[in-house]
């Protein structure tokens, strides 16, 4: 399999014919046909159903097309990186941040790094729960920042700070709950959706969540902003990072609740994480050491 063959195959799919593909990538039509036939022969599959007027992807062809697009995109990124390195342009530092860890503390650390190393580019993605560590194992980032989900001997990690987690509902929903003194009975919440941010990794028990009721409705969303909006509209209850809902707590749009036999409030440690066996780039080492130094300074202040 060669990249030129994949480009020919992709061109046929995207232009709708072998002739149009030849024009699009400046190849001859016989060359395009030969490239596709070579791929089919190599894997013993048919990529196109040629019985119709225009070439139509088979089921195998559709799956092959999706992965071909990804591979060509990665090859283009690698080529661009090679040209940048030849010009003396540094590759960006890839970070993956837990959505719940993106608070003032995290941003001030990144700002301090950017100020000290202004020529270093950052490529930042966000994920949730075990997805943050999975980004490391899939080499999608060099350093991750998030809670201690899925960490083991493969990981090196340093605690950066702690975030406050609080369980909240809207005032509208609070009026419907049966309070037992200052506490909410679990049974009162069974008919109300517990809103959770989806874990992106597969095969994690209970979608990777630790703080859930054993019984009751559960709704899943992709991010904390959507989760907050749903909470404010009275569509459910949830544990939330306090820094994300600070203004809503102050304004009374969301109300903290204490649920019986449930961890309604807690302090969640946030860690900087890397893989022990992974070779770190120069930029990643700079970031790691600076974040470590900032954490040590914070510890010194606490011990004064």
The string of pLDDT tens digits covering residues 272-293 is 999 988 778 888 999 999 999 8
The pLDDT, as a whole number, for residue 206 is 43
Percent of the chain at pLDDT > 70 equals: 89
Can you say how many angstroms the Cα of residue 122 is from the centroid of all Cα atoms in its chain? 16
Distance CA 163, CA 268 (A): 5
Which own/partner contact pairs does 218-224 have at CB distance under 8 Å and 24+ positions apart? 218/193, 218/194, 219/193, 219/194, 219/195, 220/195, 220/196, 221/195, 221/196, 221/197, 222/197, 222/198, 223/99, 223/128, 223/197, 224/99, 224/100, 224/197
Which is more confidently placed, 22 or 215?
A: 22
Mean pLDDT of 186-190: 90
Sign of CA dihedral 11, 14, 16, 20: negative
Which is more confidently placed, 233 or 135?
A: 233
According to CATH, the topology of domain 3-87 is Arc Repressor Mutant, subunit A (1.10.10)
Q: In this structure, what token pair is assigned to residue 74? A: 């990665």
Domain ranges of the chain: 3-87, 94-303
Residue 203 confidence (pLDDT) above 60: no
Find residue 239's DSSP bridge partners.
167
Residue 78 pLDDT level (bands cut at 50, 70, 90): confident
One CATH from 3.40.50.970, 2.60.40.10, 3.40.190.290, 3.40.190.10 for 94-303: 3.40.190.290
Tell me which residue has tokens 């999975």.
Answer: 134
Residue 181's region, left for phi above 0, alpha for psi from -120 to 50, else beta, is left
């Amino acid at each position: 399999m060669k990249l030129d063959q994949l480009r020919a195959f992709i061109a046929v799919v995207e232009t709708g014919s072998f002739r149009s593909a030849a024009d699009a990538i400046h190849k001859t039509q016989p060359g395009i046909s030969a490239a596709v036939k070579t791929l089919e022969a190599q894997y013993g599959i048919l990529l196109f159903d040629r019985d119709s007027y225009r070439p139509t992807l088979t089921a195998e062809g559709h799956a092959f097309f999706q992965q071909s697009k990804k591979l060509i995109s990665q090859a283009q990124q690698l080529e661009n990186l090679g040209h940048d390195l030849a010009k003396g342009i540094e590759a960006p530092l890839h970070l993956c941040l837990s959505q719940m860890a993106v608070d003032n503390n995290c941003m001030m650390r990144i700002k301090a790094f950017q100020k000290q190393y202004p020529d270093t580019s950052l490529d930042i993605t966000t994920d949730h729960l075990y997805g943050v560590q999975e980004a490391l194992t899939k080499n999608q980032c060099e350093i991750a920042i998030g809670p201690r989900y899925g960490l083991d001997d493969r990981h090196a990690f340093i605690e950066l700070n702690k975030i406050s987690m609080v369980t909240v509902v809207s005032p509208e929903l609070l009026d419907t709950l049966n309070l037992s003194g200052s506490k909410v009975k679990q049974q009162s919440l069974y008919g109300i959706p517990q809103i959770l941010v989806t874990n992106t990794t597969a095969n994690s028990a209970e979608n990777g969540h630790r703080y859930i009721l054993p019984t009751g409705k559960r709704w899943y969303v992709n991010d904390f902003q959507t989760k907050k909006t749903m909470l404010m509209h009275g569509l459910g209850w949830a544990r939330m990072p306090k820094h994300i809902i600070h203004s809503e707590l102050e304004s009374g749009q969301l109300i903290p609740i204490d649920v019986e036999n449930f961890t309604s409030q807690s302090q969640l440690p946030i860690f900087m994480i890397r893989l022990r066996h992974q070779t770190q780039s120069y930029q990643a080492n700079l970031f790691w050491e600076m974040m470590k130094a900032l954490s040590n300074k914070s510890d010194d202040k606490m011990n004064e």
